[in-house]
């Protein structure tokens, strides 16, 4: 265990801890190792390596919120701190040539190469001297050789156009910079189980020619959390921002665990859903109806939200997962549910649709989709919005005025003000996570998973994204309690 812990300290701790440091009185993190790693690298991370600097001091303060990790760091630094300080240079980079093999190589310009060699030898790893005083360290020598062979064959990461373009907009005083190389969607789906028939061909059509975009991210800790800035290649079908988030936050009920929204539907979604032309049967009709009909009903903002299950219920119930979308043709929406159900029932025997009475206060009716008599989906349309949910309360909370809206949610508004000064209205997309509430939900359900405890020191995560020319800019804040 001690040997493993030392290896983790040598290879990973500078990267992890520097992401929790301070932005004060420290030089910007550079990218001096980018010409030493291959352009084909899947993941590249660079961070501060000065253990005596103010960044590390602030990092230790934040680590106190994670007692187990803080204790491990205390023990290892007490035993190896001075030697580790000498073994690392001003920055430490981590390169993963292939994420599938989880093979990482650390690179640094050590103050004392002999100290680096002693630490890596004790951890059972390998080191190699590179160019300009830089050294590489890895679990074995083959990992270093593969890294260098890939650089010789593919060229250096620093020469990649997307690396230079995406990282060039990141804050110069960021403590950690991360670059993830994109690639074809087909490659990402290659290891997934194949879907049968027309649905499988539809997925292939959706993926054809599409790219998982390259992305860059910077972490710059502040007094109340970690500032996040990033950029990614703009996808061809990135949604047009439209009028921004003017209405959807007045529709979603308050106190969600998660909200993910877009200011407009992705461009070309209708064509993508109907792209399986040439196939026959009900599956193709369903795709064509969604592509040519359902998407034409949606006029603007769209969001998915997750709300916690009720506390104190006699029967365990799942969280409520709901889709909210602005409607252009409200009267046609519920009629389309019946048409969709007719097509799906041909594919799924036992599926039926019935009306749901939400009470006199409801703005309109709703429908429930049943499978063998058991409800699986609720759909409602009213107040200019389509709601699709796995629970009746997900529909009733909007159409029956059951809850206050998200725009009045104290925690949502406070998180937005901390991250951006005010709730976002003009961006293309947003992501909000109430991490404190998620931890509380896990506790109420008796969860003992490590992730539940890891959420305890965290408060909220709020990110927005906006298209700009050839990239999408991302910004936000991971807030601590």
* Tens digit of each residue's pLDDT (9 = 90 or more) over 449-467: 555 666 778 899 999 999 8
**Residue 135 banded pLDDT, cuts 50, 70, 90:** very high
Q: Are residues 148 and 273 in the same domain?
A: no
Instruction: Write the burial class of residue 19 (CB in 10 Å: 0-12 exposed, 13-18 middle, 19+ buried).
Output: buried
Residue 280 counted as domain residue: yes
Of 106, 138, 159, which one is at a domain's C-terminal end?
159
User: What number is the average pLDDT over the span 107-133?
Assistant: 89
Q: Are residues 151 and 294 in the same domain?
A: no
Q: Per DSSP, what are the bridge partners of residue 136?
A: 107, 128
Residue 222 counted as domain residue: no
pTM for the complete prediction?
A: 0.81
Q: Are residues 312 and 443 in the same domain?
A: yes
**Residue 392 banded pLDDT, cuts 50, 70, 90:** confident
Residue 220 counted as domain residue: no
Rounded mean pLDDT of the chain?
76
Of 159, 184, 208, which one is at a domain's C-terminal end?
159
When divided into structural domains, the chain yields a total of 2
Question: Residue 306: what pLDDT?
Answer: 93
Encode pLDDT of 417-427 as tens digits: 999 999 988 88
pLDDT above 80 for 16: no
Q: Are residues 283 and 429 in the same domain?
A: yes
Cβ neighbors of 314 (< 8 A, separation 6 or more) are none
Residue 350 counted as domain residue: yes
pLDDT above 70 for 183: yes
Alpha carbons 91 and 89: distance in angstroms, whole number: 5
Contact between residue 127 and residue 140 where contact means Cβ atoms under 8 Å apart: no
Residue 55 counted as domain residue: yes
Residue 480 counted as domain residue: no
Of 104, 139, 159, which one is at a domain's C-terminal end?
159
User: What number is the average pLDDT over the span 115-132?
Assistant: 89
Q: Are residues 131 and 261 in the same domain?
A: no
Stretch among 69-73, 339-343, 407-411, 473-477 having the lowest mean pLDDT:
339-343
Residue 168 counted as domain residue: no
Alpha carbons 141 and 157: distance in angstroms, whole number: 21
Print burial letters for 294-313: b (CB count within 10 Å at least 16), e (below 16): bbebbbbbbbbbbbbeeeee
Q: Are residues 271 and 153 in the same domain?
A: no
Residue 171 counted as domain residue: no
pLDDT above 60 for 285: no
Q: Are residues 318 and 430 in the same domain?
A: yes
Q: List the domain range (segments joined by +) for residue 65.
A: 2-159
Question: Residue 15: what pLDDT?
Answer: 37
Alpha carbons 459 and 438: distance in angstroms, whole number: 10
Q: Per DSSP, what are the bridge partners of residue 370?
A: 352, 375
Instruction: Write the burial class of residue 400 (CB in 10 Å: 0-12 exposed, 13-18 middle, 19+ buried).
Output: buried
Question: Residue 277: what pLDDT?
Answer: 46
């Amino acid at each position: 265990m001690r040997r493993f812990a030392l290896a983790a300290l040598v290879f990973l701790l500078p990267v992890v801890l520097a992401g929790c440091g301070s932005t004060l009185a420290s030089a910007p993190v550079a990218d001096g190792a980018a010409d030493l790693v291959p352009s084909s690298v899947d993941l590249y991370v660079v961070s501060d390596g000065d253990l005596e600097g103010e960044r590390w001091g602030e990092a230790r303060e934040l680590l106190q919120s994670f007692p187990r990790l803080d204790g491990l760091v205390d023990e290892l630094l007490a035993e190896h701190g001075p030697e580790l300080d000498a073994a690392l240079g001003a920055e430490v980079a981590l390169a993963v040539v292939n994420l599938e093999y989880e093979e990482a190589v650390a690179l640094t310009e050590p103050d004392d190469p002999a100290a680096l060699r002693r630490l890596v030898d004790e951890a059972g790893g390998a080191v190699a001297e590179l160019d300009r005083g830089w050294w590489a360290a890895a679990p074995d020598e083959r990992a270093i050789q593969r890294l260098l062979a890939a650089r010789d064959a593919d060229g250096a990461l620093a020469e990649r156009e997307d690396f230079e373009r995406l990282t060039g907009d990141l804050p110069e005083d960021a403590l950690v910079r991360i670059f993830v190389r994109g690639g074809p969607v087909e490659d990402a789906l290659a290891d997934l189980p194949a879907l049968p028939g027309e649905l499988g061909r539809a997925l292939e059509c959706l993926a054809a020619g599409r790219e998982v975009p390259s992305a860059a991210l910077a972490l710059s800790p502040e007094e109340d959390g970690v500032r996040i800035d990033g950029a990614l290649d703009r996808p061809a079908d990135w949604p047009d921002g439209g009028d921004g988030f003017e209405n959807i936050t007045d529709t979603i009920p308050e106190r969600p665990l998660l909200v993910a929204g877009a200011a407009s539907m992705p461009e070309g979604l209708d064509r993508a859903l109907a792209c399986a032309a040439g196939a026959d049967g009900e599956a193709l009709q369903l795709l064509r109806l969604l592509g040519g009909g359902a998407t034409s009903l949606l006029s603007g903002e769209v969001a998915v939200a997750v709300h916690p299950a009720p506390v104190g219920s006699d029967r365990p119930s799942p969280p409520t997962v709901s889709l909210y979308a602005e409607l252009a043709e409200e009267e046609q929406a519920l009629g389309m549910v019946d048409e969709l159900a007719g097509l799906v029932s041909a594919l799924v025997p036992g599926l039926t649709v019935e009306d749901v009475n939400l009470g006199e206060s409801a703005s309109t009716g709703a429908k429930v989709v049943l499978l063998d008599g058991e409800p699986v989906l609720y759909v409602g349309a009213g107040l200019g919005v389509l709601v699709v949910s796995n629970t009746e309360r997900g529909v009733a909370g909007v159409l029956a005025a059951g809850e206050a809206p998200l725009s009045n949610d104290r925690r949502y508004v406070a998180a937005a003000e901390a991250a951006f000064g005010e709730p976002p209205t003009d961006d293309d997309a947003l992501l909000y996570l109430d991490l404190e509430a998620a931890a509380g939900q896990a506790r109420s359900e008796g969860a003992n998973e490590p992730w539940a405890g890891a959420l305890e020191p965290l408060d909220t995560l709020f990110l927005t994204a906006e298209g700009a020319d050839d990239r999408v800019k991302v910004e936000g804040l991971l807030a601590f309690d």
